[in-house]
RNA sequence: ACAGCUGUAGCUCAGUUGGCAGAGCGCUCCCCUGAUAAGGGAGAGGUCACUGGUUCGAUGCCAGUCAGCUGUACCA
């Protein structure tokens, strides 16, 4: 049997996807799409590693669709696109999952369970959902090389990361320092912002707050403050955490804030005082009624008497010194620099006093401004000589704190039943009141973070951490950012740009267990240090240590330096539980232990450009070819995550950018615009969605509905619509083609018919098609997939399916296998194939199916659409003129159809004539070229173009705003009214004489045809409609001939219905009997050949109705009945 | 609180170097019926979030406000 184009009953996208997956597997299509591009220019893509510890969600389908689109697009654009998968395997979520599973907490590690057991559990857990992920990857049609992924816990990966760290260290970009971090004393661990943002961690609590009085020391720096008062002068500063007051070393003011000096009395001691606070806040603390009253008038109620004594700017206050408020201890370093006023940009007058109590050991802002100003933190010398804060890691005051020593800073930290009546905060408040140092003490409700594990309030606590000195490379980072093409631009300039402008050093340390250990070993007092940049280096150091006797043996004895095999690397493990046992020896012969921290997991993923290739130990060439990336894409939430870490590491370690183009996509919300969450049950299941609607429709919907960087309101109804509109239109178009191509045996064997000699309609769609290739390509090139998808969709639905196919149907089912028919086949074939190629990045399954089906007979092209190349744009076929006149035809047709509707004249009833007024020759010649198209579509015999000065026409005029506006400006409104009111004669004068003088607000002005738009509104006696610049008038007279012809068409229609109802094939020939009567007889005789051709009837007999057995009664039009019978020949 | 994005028809979204606002879906009515779980026509439906400014003219430009979302921060 002869081969045919496959025909389908209906479209099932999900089934198509399954089928194509099989084919791809069998033919190794993905591998081929890379293999066949060997030697071509590479297009480098980096995969941001997901964590297989969690299940994938619908947003992953979104993110990966975007990645996939550009990789596929660049492949069919001729590039070679390798894409290596990756897995992010470290980090807190993994640890938490394991702890939950094992029923343990962090404190149990090292006690109930060894670090090794813990890490083994993590290693197993982290790849828990790998299968699910691989399944999703496959089902959604995401092409990424999953056979050889990079995995961040592998020794080779870690070794590369160590190498980067050692590079940074050598460039002096690593340092150890204190930083204030959220810390949970009861859990004994620092918390990440991620942990702090868990729901329920911020709670309203009622705390004792104090406005403390810091006594100003009078000297040359502060004389200005004493000019207008005799009282003792105090700075007022508010705190919600009185326990930090002993650690105060500075007060911070805003340079541009105005401060007032107020003479008053202390409400607790009644002593006269002068206090300094922000002018804006005076009214908040001092009652207007008491202004200017004397101290004796104070009765303990209604506020204290007061009087403004002076005003200063913040700058005036800077550097003034004050007495230490609670002199338990002095800072160990530079105490002379402490206890003075400094400036900070974060100070506001929203609450407090406009002067901020600054304790650099317990506040991040505090630490920052203090460091800038050279104010020391309140650290005292600990046992090893190192600085320690006044509060220990359990949350208790240290021994040096006298009466406070050993007390917890928060009552919540005491074990149940042991809580003292008075909290430290209250004790301090009482003491300050007694010492005339408390201006105001009150309870205050505020929002404060709590540890989500212990439920206790957290502390901001200084922890020893390793930092990457990103601030040192700030300008370089900003400069490099300008080389990156961000989509959308605003994320790069705004969110990311601002982030870089306000850059802080990157805190690398995490006191965790499952992660990449910091490869730094130090001696006891931290004076000697070594950083390890490779296993080779480590082994060399171990050997020294063993030789020196600080270590017994080499745990990596089996490892063979220089052997890059997996087996060799499997003999070692670079995780904490192993490397912590390694003790190295310093140059002076002291033992050195590893710094106990792990590094931030973000550093893991930011190292992937290098570590995925085990660079620089292996694959140097591969790395160089694949760096930097041409393209990456992830969610906006990665702006400060992966996007930043890639950028920072590239800039710091290699002075380069890591990626050239980046798309940061928005979130996938539910259909009401709410965040999806499993808890709320509004999260869409990706597998269910893909199964039910198919990956193609899901992908197409996600991409075309909203720009990738806008949030997507994910609505399943939307996918259904995409299926119905786009895929079904495309599929129907193909089915239509396949049906007739099979009948006629079209195999694209004939010579290519020159486009120039094809009919107007074909040249039109091919012009549109070439424009499409061009615009879609440039959309993809500009990383605008939404635009690309919408363009394709418009073309398929509007141009190809609803216009070209509609107008060309007859060409397929009628007549011989003529030149015209072949042209039609070649045209539609080319359109379909090109659409398949263009849409393949977005809808990889259906497009390949379509492409293969088209190829199944002609077999003249690449095996898969994903290996094919985008057809070259043939500029010579693009004809704007042609496209615009087809628009005119569409408009004219639509007008005629509207007129028919108005008169209830069905389209099958032919009509005689339409009139179209043509104002100029170009318009006329455009119209003439599409006359056939219009006549065909609207079933009218003839178009007559009439002169615009034809008396029949009633003119319509509109001002040309953009032209006149520029010339007449203010008078535009009056002019518009005037023009709209012009008479028919005046309009014609403009049109034919070329000008008209009118009076505008007492002034004579001349209107020319360019100043206005003139159209025809009406042709008296005709049915007229107009839209934009097209007007049509329809002659609705139905002559006898037209009537018979119309009936003939009705008859054809009825016969066709019967054919269809009888289940005949489109190619079956038939014999027809029709019951005789006068009108029907005329109609048939008049149209005999036409009817027979259309219906494929060998015989068409008129017989007496009584002679027809089993005929079917039909009504041709109202009052005209007959009986028809058809038989297959 | 700060920053970014968004705000156009009932819904999802286009649009405009500034010139009386569009599509699809949905809704109402009708037509068509060899693409048929399609197709065509007509209709209803808008203060282009709000306020002020620039302009002859603002949905568009400028300033501010409000709302939604996201991120960062939560600090005295």
CATH number, domain at A1053? 3.30.2320
Least confident of A328-332, A375-379, A749-753, A897-901: A897-901
At residue A550, the 3 state secondary structure works out as coil
Residue A493 CA distance to nucleotide B56 C1' (Å): 37
Query: What would the mean pLDDT of A62-77 be, rounded to a whole number?
Result: 95
Phi, psi torsion values for A259, nearest 5 degrees: -120, 150
Query: What would the mean pLDDT of A996-1013 be, rounded to a whole number?
Result: 79
In the structure, how many helices (H) and strands (E) does chain A have?
Answer: 39, 40
Q: Is the pLDDT of residue A664 over 60?
A: yes
The answer to whether strand B lies under 7 Å from the CB of residue A809 is yes
The rounded Cα A1098 to chain-centroid distance in angstroms is: 63
Predicted confidence at residue A275, as pLDDT, reads: 92
CATH number, domain at A995? 3.30.720.200
In a domain, A136, yes or no: no
Bigger pLDDT: A836 or A707? A836
CB A326 within 8 A of CB A245: yes
Q: Are residues A195 and A340 in the same domain?
A: yes
Tell me, yes or no, if A625 is annotated catalytic.
no
Which range in A82-86, A497-501, A1115-1119 is most confidently predicted, on average pLDDT? A82-86
**Strand stretches in A469-581, DSSP E:** 485-487, 506-507, 509-510, 520-522, 529-531
Q: Residues 269-298 of A near strand B (Cβ < 7 Å)?
A: none
The answer to whether strand B lies under 7 Å from the CB of residue A12 is no
Predicted confidence band at A1 (pLDDT cuts at 50, 70, 90)? very low
Q: Are residues A214 and A342 in the same domain?
A: yes
Predicted confidence at residue A1011, as pLDDT, reads: 79
Among residues A441, A468, A497, the one where a domain terminates is A441
CB A92 within 8 A of CB A125: no
Q: Are residues A1012 and A1048 in the same domain?
A: no
Residue A434 CA distance to nucleotide B41 C1' (Å): 90
Residue A758 CA distance to nucleotide B73 C1' (Å): 67
| Nearest nt to the A905 alpha carbon by C1' | B31
Query: What would the mean pLDDT of A766-777 be, rounded to a whole number?
Result: 93
The answer to whether strand B lies under 7 Å from the CB of residue A898 is yes
Nucleotides on strand B lying under 7 Å from protein C-beta: 1, 3-6, 11-14, 17-20, 24-25, 30-42, 55-57, 68-76
In a domain, A25, yes or no: no
| Nearest nt to the A1063 alpha carbon by C1' | B34
| Nearest nt to the A1066 alpha carbon by C1' | B34
Question: Model confidence over A282-334: pLDDT tens digits?
Answer: 888 888 888 887 777 777 676 788 888 899 888 888 899 999 999 999 999 88
Residue A962 CA distance to nucleotide B58 C1' (Å): 14
Query: What would the mean pLDDT of A674-680 be, rounded to a whole number?
Result: 71
The answer to whether strand B lies under 7 Å from the CB of residue A553 is no
Question: Model confidence over A210-257: pLDDT tens digits?
Answer: 999 999 999 998 898 998 888 999 999 988 889 999 999 999 988 878
Query: What would the mean pLDDT of A255-275 be, rounded to a whole number?
Result: 89
Q: Are residues A979 and A1081 in the same domain?
A: no
Q: Cα separation of A41 and A794, whole Å?
A: 32
CATH number, domain at A853? 1.10.730.10
The answer to whether strand B lies under 7 Å from the CB of residue A503 is no
Tell me the average pLDDT of chain A: 86
Among residues A394, A417, A441, the one where a domain terminates is A441
Q: Is the pLDDT of residue A710 over 90?
A: no
Q: Residues 433-472 of A near strand B (Cβ < 7 Å)?
A: 446-449, 460
CB A183 within 8 A of CB A463: yes
Predicted confidence at residue A1018, as pLDDT, reads: 59
Predicted confidence at residue A1020, as pLDDT, reads: 58
Tell me, yes or no, if A638 is annotated catalytic.
yes
C-beta atoms surrounding A1004 within 10 Å: 8
CATH number, domain at A319? 3.90.740.10
| Nearest nt to the A907 alpha carbon by C1' | B32
Residue A902 CA distance to nucleotide B29 C1' (Å): 13
Predicted confidence band at A110 (pLDDT cuts at 50, 70, 90)? confident
Predicted confidence band at A948 (pLDDT cuts at 50, 70, 90)? low
Predicted confidence at residue A909, as pLDDT, reads: 82
Q: What is the DSSP letter of A113?
A: B
Tell me, yes or no, if A145 is annotated catalytic.
no
| Nearest nt to the A1056 alpha carbon by C1' | B34
Q: Is the pLDDT of residue A782 over 70?
A: yes
Residue A966 CA distance to nucleotide B59 C1' (Å): 21
**H or E segment and range at residue A163:** helix A155-170
Q: Are residues A1076 and A1001 in the same domain?
A: no
ipTM of the complex as predicted: 0.85
Q: Residues 961-1000 of A near strand B (Cβ < 7 Å)?
A: 961-962, 965-966, 969-970, 972-973, 976, 980
Place of tokens 């907490």: A105
In a domain, A1109, yes or no: yes
Q: Is the pLDDT of residue A974 over 50?
A: yes
Query: What would the mean pLDDT of A537-557 be, rounded to a whole number?
Result: 93
In a domain, A389, yes or no: yes
Q: Residues 660-699 of A near strand B (Cβ < 7 Å)?
A: 666-667, 669, 671, 673-675
CB A841 within 8 A of CB A69: yes
Tell me, yes or no, if A710 is annotated catalytic.
no
Residue A1057 tokens, joined: 């219905």
Tell me, yes or no, if A602 is annotated catalytic.
yes
The answer to whether strand B lies under 7 Å from the CB of residue A350 is yes
Place of tokens 């020319």: A1008
Which residues contact residue A183 at a Cβ distance below 8 angstroms, ignoring those fewer than 6 apart?
A189, A190, A191, A393, A458, A459, A460, A461, A463
| Nearest nt to the A958 alpha carbon by C1' | B20
Residue A686 CA distance to nucleotide B63 C1' (Å): 45
CB A838 within 8 A of CB A772: yes
Domains in chain A, number:
5
Residue A982 CA distance to nucleotide B68 C1' (Å): 49
CA angle A611, A138, A40 (to 5 degrees): 60
| Nearest nt to the A240 alpha carbon by C1' | B76
Partners of A278 in the beta sheet? A259
Partners of A1000 in the beta sheet? A1003
In a domain, A637, yes or no: no
Q: Is the pLDDT of residue A989 over 90?
A: no
B23 C1': nearest CA residue: A794
Query: What would the mean pLDDT of A584-596 be, rounded to a whole number?
Result: 92
On the question of a cis peptide bond just before residue A616, with omega within 30 degrees of 0, the verdict is yes
Q: Are residues A308 and A392 in the same domain?
A: yes
In a domain, A966, yes or no: yes
CB A644 within 8 A of CB A122: no
Query: What would the mean pLDDT of A743-766 be, rounded to a whole number?
Result: 91
Predicted confidence at residue A394, as pLDDT, reads: 85
The answer to whether strand B lies under 7 Å from the CB of residue A1004 is no
Q: Are residues A295 and A209 in the same domain?
A: yes
Query: What would the mean pLDDT of A551-562 be, rounded to a whole number?
Result: 92
What's the number of CA atoms in the CB half-sphere (13 Å) around residue A288? Answer: 1
Which range in A271-280, A382-391, A651-660 is most confidently predicted, on average pLDDT? A651-660
Residue A191 tokens, joined: 């918390």
Bigger pLDDT: A457 or A753? A753
Place of tokens 């173009």: A945
Which residues contact residue A483 at a Cβ distance below 8 angstroms, ignoring those fewer than 6 apart?
A657, A660
CB A456 within 8 A of CB A413: yes
On the question of a cis peptide bond just before residue A36, with omega within 30 degrees of 0, the verdict is no
Residue of A602, A709, A764, A813 marked active site = A602
At residue A939, the 3 state secondary structure works out as coil
Q: Are residues A860 and A746 in the same domain?
A: yes
Predicted confidence at residue A796, as pLDDT, reads: 92
The answer to whether strand B lies under 7 Å from the CB of residue A347 is yes
Place of tokens 């868990």: A198
**Closest among A536, A582, A535, A577 to A555, alpha carbons compared:** A582
**H or E segment and range at residue A845:** helix A844-858
CB A1021 within 8 A of CB A1040: no
Residue of A100, A482, A483, A675 marked active site = A675
B25 C1': nearest CA residue: A721
Residue A569 CA distance to nucleotide B57 C1' (Å): 74
B76 C1': nearest CA residue: A356
**A294 CB-contact burial (10 Å; exposed 0-12 / middle 13-18 / buried 19+):** exposed
Tell me, yes or no, if A24 is annotated catalytic.
no
Q: Cα separation of A942 and A954, whole Å?
A: 22
On the question of a cis peptide bond just before residue A394, with omega within 30 degrees of 0, the verdict is no
Among residues A871, A895, A914, the one where a domain terminates is A871
Predicted confidence at residue A51, as pLDDT, reads: 83
Predicted confidence at residue A743, as pLDDT, reads: 85
Q: Is the pLDDT of residue A194 over 60?
A: no
Question: Model confidence over A423-450: pLDDT tens digits?
Answer: 898 899 999 999 999 998 888 777 777 7
Instruction: Provide, rounded to the nearest whole percent, the portion of chain A with pLDDT above 90.
Output: 38
Residue of A80, A87, A88, A813 marked active site = A88
In a domain, A220, yes or no: yes
In a domain, A324, yes or no: yes
Residue of A80, A181, A612, A638 marked active site = A638
Q: Are residues A289 and A230 in the same domain?
A: yes
Tell me, yes or no, if A609 is annotated catalytic.
no
Q: Are residues A966 and A1099 in the same domain?
A: no
Q: Are residues A1012 and A1073 in the same domain?
A: no
Q: Are residues A396 and A321 in the same domain?
A: yes
Residue A731 CA distance to nucleotide B27 C1' (Å): 28
C-beta atoms surrounding A309 within 10 Å: 20
Q: Which domain holds residue A417?
A: 190-441
Residue A285 tokens, joined: 């603390």
CB A63 within 8 A of CB A703: no
Predicted confidence at residue A1029, as pLDDT, reads: 66
Q: Cα separation of A368 and A441, whole Å?
A: 28
């Amino acid at each position: 049997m002869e081969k045919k184009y496959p025909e389908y009953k209906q479209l099932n996208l999900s089934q198509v996807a399954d089928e194509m997956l099989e084919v791809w597997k069998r033919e190794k299509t993905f591998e081929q799409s890379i293999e066949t591009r060997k030697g071509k220019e590479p297009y480098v893509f980096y995969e941001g590693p997901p964590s297989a510890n969690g299940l994938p969600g619908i947003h992953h389908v979104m993110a990966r669709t975007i990645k996939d689109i550009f990789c596929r697009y660049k492949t069919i654009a001729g590039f070679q696109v390798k894409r290596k998968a990756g897995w992010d395997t470290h980090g807190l979520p993994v640890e938490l999952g394991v702890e939950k599973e094992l029923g343990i907490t962090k404190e149990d590690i090292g006690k109930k369970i060894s670090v090794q057991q813990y890490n083994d559990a993590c290693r197993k857990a982290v790849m828990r959902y790998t299968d699910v992920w691989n399944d999703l990857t496959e089902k959604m049609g995401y092409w990424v090389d999953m056979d050889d992924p990079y995995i961040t816990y592998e020794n080779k990966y870690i070794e590369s990361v160590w190498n980067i760290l050692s590079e940074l260290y050598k460039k002096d970009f690593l340092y150890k320092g204190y930083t204030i971090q959220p810390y949970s004393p009861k859990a004994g661990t620092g918390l990440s912002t991620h942990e702090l943002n868990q729901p329920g961690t911020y709670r309203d609590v009622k705390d004792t707050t104090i406005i403390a009085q810091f006594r100003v020391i009078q000297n040359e720096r502060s004389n200005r403050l004493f000019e207008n008062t005799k009282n003792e002068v105090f700075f007022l500063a508010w705190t919600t955490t009185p326990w930090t007051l002993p650690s105060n070393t500075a007060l911070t003011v805003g340079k541009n804030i105005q401060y007032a000096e107020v003479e008053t009395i202390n409400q607790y001691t009644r002593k006269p005082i002068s206090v300094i606070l922000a002018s804006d806040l005076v009214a908040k603390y001092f009652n207007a009624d008491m202004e200017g009253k004397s101290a004796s008038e104070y009765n303990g109620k209604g506020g204290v008497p007061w009087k403004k004594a002076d005003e200063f700017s913040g700058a005036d206050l800077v550097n003034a010194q004050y007495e230490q408020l609670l002199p338990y201890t002095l800072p160990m370093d530079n105490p002379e620099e402490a206890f003075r006023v400094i400036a900070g940009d974060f100070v506001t007058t929203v609450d407090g006093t406009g002067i901020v109590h600054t304790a650099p050991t317990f506040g991040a802002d505090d630490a920052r401004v203090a460091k800038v100003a050279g104010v020391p933190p309140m650290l005292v010398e600990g046992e090893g000589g190192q600085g320690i804060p006044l509060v220990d890691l359990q949350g208790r005051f240290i021994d040096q704190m006298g009466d406070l020593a050993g007390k917890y800073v928060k009552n919540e930290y005491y074990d149940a039943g042991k809580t003292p009546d008075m909290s430290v905060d209250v004790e301090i408040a009482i003491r300050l009141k007694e010492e005339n140092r408390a201006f105001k003490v009150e309870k205050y409700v505020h929002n404060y973070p709590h540890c989500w594990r212990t439920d206790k309030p957290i502390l901001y606590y200084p922890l020893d951490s390793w930092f990457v000195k990103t601030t040192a490379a700030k300008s370089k980072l900003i400069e490099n950012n300008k080389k990156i093409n961000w989509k959308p631009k605003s994320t790069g300039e705004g969110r990311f740009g601002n982030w870089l402008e306000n850059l802080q050093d990157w805190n690398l340390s995490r006191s965790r267990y499952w992660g990449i250990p910091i490869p730094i070993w130090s001696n006891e007092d931290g004076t000697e240090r070594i950083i390890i940049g490779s296993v080779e280096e480590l082994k060399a150091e171990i050997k020294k240590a063993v030789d020196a006797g600080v270590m017994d043996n080499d745990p990596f004895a089996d490892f063979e330096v220089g052997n890059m095999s997996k087996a060799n690397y499997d003999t070692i493990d670079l995780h904490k539980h192993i490397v912590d046992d390694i003790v190295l020896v310093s140059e002076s012969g002291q033992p050195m232990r590893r710094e106990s921290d792990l590094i931030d997991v973000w550093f893991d993923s930011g190292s992937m450009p290098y570590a995925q290739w085990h660079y620089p130990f292996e694959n140097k060439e591969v790395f160089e070819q694949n760096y930097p990336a041409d393209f990456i894409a992830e969610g906006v939430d990665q702006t400060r995550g992966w996007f930043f870490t890639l950028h920072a590491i590239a800039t710091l370690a290699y002075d380069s950018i890591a990626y050239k183009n980046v798309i940061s996509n928005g979130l996938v919300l539910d259909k009401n615009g709410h965040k999806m969450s499993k808890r709320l049950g509004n999260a869409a299941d990706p597998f269910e969605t893909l199964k039910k609607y198919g990956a193609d429709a899901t992908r197409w919907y996600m991409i075309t509905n909203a720009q990738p960087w806008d949030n997507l309101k994910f609505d399943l109804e939307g996918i259904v619509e995409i299926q119905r509109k786009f895929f079904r239109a495309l599929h129907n178009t193909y089915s239509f083609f396949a049906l007739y191509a099979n009948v006629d045996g079209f195999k694209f064997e004939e010579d290519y018919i020159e486009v120039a000699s094809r009919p107007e309609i074909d040249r039109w769609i091919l012009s549109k098609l070439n424009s499409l290739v061009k615009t879609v390509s440039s959309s993809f090139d500009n990383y605008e997939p939404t635009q690309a998808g919408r363009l394709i969709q418009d073309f398929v639905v509007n141009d190809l399916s609803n216009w070209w196919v509609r107008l060309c149907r007859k060409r397929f089912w009628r007549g011989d296998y003529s030149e015209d028919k072949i042209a039609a086949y070649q045209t539609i074939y080319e359109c379909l194939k090109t659409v398949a190629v263009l849409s393949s990045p977005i809808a990889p399954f259906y497009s390949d199916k379509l492409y293969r089906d088209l190829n199944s007979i002609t077999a003249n092209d690449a095996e898969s659409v994903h290996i094919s190349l985008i057809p070259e744009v043939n500029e010579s076929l693009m004809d704007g003129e042609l496209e615009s006149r087809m628009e005119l035809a569409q408009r004219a047709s639509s007008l005629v159809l509207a007129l028919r509707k108005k008169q209830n004249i069905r389209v099958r009833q032919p009509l005689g004539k339409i009139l179209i007024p043509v104002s100029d020759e170009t318009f006329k010649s455009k119209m003439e070229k599409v006359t056939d198209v219009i006549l065909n579509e609207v079933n009218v015999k003839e178009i007559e173009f009439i002169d615009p000065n034809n008396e029949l026409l009633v003119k319509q005029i509109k001002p040309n705003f953009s032209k006149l506006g520029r010339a007449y400006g203010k008078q535009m409104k009056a002019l518009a009214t005037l023009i709209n009111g012009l008479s028919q004669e005046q309009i014609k004068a403009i049109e034919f004489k070329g000008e008209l003088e009118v009076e505008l607000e007492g002034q004579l002005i001349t209107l020319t045809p360019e100043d206005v738009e003139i159209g025809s509104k009406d042709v008296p006696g005709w049915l007229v409609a107009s839209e934009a610049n097209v007007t049509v008038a329809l002659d609705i007279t139905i002559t006898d001939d037209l009537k018979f012809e119309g009936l003939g068409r009705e008859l054809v229609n009825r016969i066709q219905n019967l054919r269809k109802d009888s289940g005949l094939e489109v190619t079956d020939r038939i014999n027809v009997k029709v019951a005789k009567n006068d009108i029907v007889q005329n109609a048939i005789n008049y149209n005999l050949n036409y009817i027979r051709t259309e219906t494929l009837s060998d015989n068409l007999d008129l017989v007496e109705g009584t002679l027809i057995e089993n005929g079917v009664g039909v009504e041709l039009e109202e009052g005209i009945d007959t009986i028809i019978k058809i038989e297959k020949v």
